[in-house]
Structures are given as structure tokens and as C-alpha cells.
Amino acid sequence: MAVQDGRSANRLSRRTVLRGAAATAGGLIALDAFGLEPRWLDVTRHDVPVAGLPGALEGLTIVQLTDVHLSSLGSLHESIFETVRRIDPQIVVLTGDMVDHGSSAPVLEAFCRGIAAPGRVLLATLGNWEHWGGVPLEVIQEAYVKSGTRLLVNEHCVAAGVVVAGTDDYCSNNHDVHRTLDGLPAGEARLLLSHAPGLLDVMPPGAPRFDLALSGHTHGGQVSFFGHAIVLPPGCGRFVAGAYETPAGPAYVSRGIGTSDLNVRMMCRPELPIFRLVRG
């Protein structure tokens, strides 16, 4: 009969423990990435200094929702509704990739109704997935109109005293910056909405600067190791997530709400950023 010495037994014991620990760690990581983080909303707050901001716009609050990739409403969306009700922003902007398929238009309408309120302005732009998914523009437009949301497609408007310009998607090459900015008023505060942030580094010469540019598209990578995204979609340029200085002005790239390709997030929670205008 073979006799196992103590050192061999200890090595086997340590190996068993390490394998068990690795399996446990792997299971916890999978639980976090697939079960916890995709539904764990991160609310971030940011002050936006604006030179010469009039007193009437001091403290005006803007909420950004992007890359929601709606197919149904669930607990994450209920958290969004509750957060928006509590914050009570004057403006909510939806910066593209709200739906991937035309069949999700009723869900989009319901989502917008969930964040709407009397006196609140809802503005939307298009993302790459509205184009790649072949969602008819009239279907999206109808859902937005029914919910009291204005869709900006290479155009601008004035909302709650803020000049807002919204391009179509840069990643799918549907943007038209010249058309978007044509006749843009001066305004005391100006906001640029453009789904894919790569556009912010290639603005045409002479384009005006904005007090804030908002983009999404990157999902923050969805899977991140200590701030380093593993994979980013085309159209991101140098941008991943957070605040940047760009030729268009100060910019913020949100990690977004939903997921694409795989329903997974790791070290990259869904983000609802809140921006408050302050005197610069």
C-alpha cells in the first residue's frame, strides 16, 4: 500500500483549497457581473461652471440617460424613475441607443412617460443601434411625440432657457454638424448632445464651443479592470467614461444604463449622471 508523506498531503491540501478559492472567486465575479452590477444604478453628480450664467439658470439641473437598450421595464428602470422623481430635473436628455428594434417602441414610450413630469423638458437624440437595428425613424418619432419628448436629429432648440444642439449618430455616419449648428443662437448656456463621443474631437473649424457636451455609446467598456475598459465599440475615439476637455468644450461620457451583446457589467455599473449649472 502506498503511503503519502506529510509534505505531499499538505501540497494536495493547499492545491484543493486554492482550487476551491478560485472556483468561489469565479462564481462571485460571475454573480456580480451577470446578476448584480447590470441592475445596480450609480447616480453621479457634477457641477457645470458657466461663465456669465444668469441667476435664472443658476442651479438648473439636467439628467442624462443613454444606451438604455430597452426591451422591457424592470427594477433598474424603476430605480431610474424614482431617482428622476426625487431629483426633479428641469431637463432630461436621452442620448441615443434607447432601443435596438422597432418592436420596443411601446416600451420606449412607457419609459419616457415614467420620467416625464409637468414643466420638465425631455430631449432625445439617435444612436447607432437605432440605425443598425433598422428602427424606422417615424416609429421612434411617434413614441417620442406620444410621451412628450422632442427628438433632435441634426438640429437645435431652446429648452428651459438653455440652447441645446443634437446631432444624429457619428458612429453610423449619420451626423451632420454643419446642419446642426446652422443658425445656432448665442444663449447664456449651451449644451451639445451627440451619442458617439468620437465626434467631439473632429468638430469642424470655427465650430462654437459649448458649456457642456454629453455623449454615451462606450458603456464604459461594460467590463472594466480597475478603470481600464477591455473592449470599446467603434466611434469612441479616445473616450471611455467621465469628464474630458474637447474642441467642443467640456464633455462628459456616461457609462450608460443598459448592455449590448452580452448582459454583463463588471466594475462598470449603470450610470445616471446629474449636472447642475453654476456660475463660472
Q: What is the pTM of this model?
A: 0.88
Cα-Cα-Cα-Cα dihedral sign, residues 49, 53, 55, 60: negative
Three-state DSSP class for residue 106? helix
Residues 33 and 82 in one domain: no
Q: Are residue 70 and residue 1 in the same domain, yes or no?
A: no
* C-alpha R_g of the chain: 22
Do residue 175 and residue 140 come from a single domain? yes
DSSP-derived pairing of the beta strands 224-225 and 212-215: unpaired
At 224 the pLDDT is 83
Which of the 8 DSSP states describes residue 57?
A: G
Let me know whether 80 and 12 are in one domain.
Answer: no
Same domain, 177 and 76: yes
Give the cell for residue 57: 439658470
98: left (phi over 0), alpha (psi -120 to 50) or beta: alpha
Closest by Cα among 280, 155, 151, 156 to 211: 280
Q: Are residues 77 and 205 in the same domain?
A: yes
What CATH number corresponds to the domain at position 88?
A: 3.60.21
Give the E-state strand segments of 189-260 in sequence order.
Answer: 190-193, 212-215, 224-225, 228-229, 242-246, 249-253
pLDDT at residue 29 tops 80: no
Give the mean model confidence (pLDDT) for residues 153-163. Answer: 98
Confidence check: pLDDT of 52 > 70: yes
In this structure, are 172 and 223 located in the same domain?
yes
How far apart (Å, rounded) are the C-alpha atoms in residues 36 and 278?
35
107 Cβ contact list (under 8 Å, min separation 6): 70, 71, 72, 73, 99
Q: Are residues 64 and 175 in the same domain?
A: yes
DSSP category for residue 174: -
pLDDT bracket for residue 253 (50, 70, 90): very high
Q: Do residues 74 and 136 share a domain? A: yes
Quote the cell numbers at residue 41: 444604478
* CB contact at 8 A, 223 and 263: no
CA distance 240 to 269: 14
Which domain range does residue 25 map to? 1-39
Q: Which residue has the higher pLDDT, 29 or 225?
A: 225
Is residue 64 within 8 Å of 89, Cβ to Cβ?
no
Residues 242-247, mean pLDDT to the nearest whole number: 98
Same domain, 107 and 216: yes
Looking at the fold, whether 110 and 27 belong to one and the same domain comes out as no
Shared domain check, 136 and 18: no
Domain count across the chain? 2
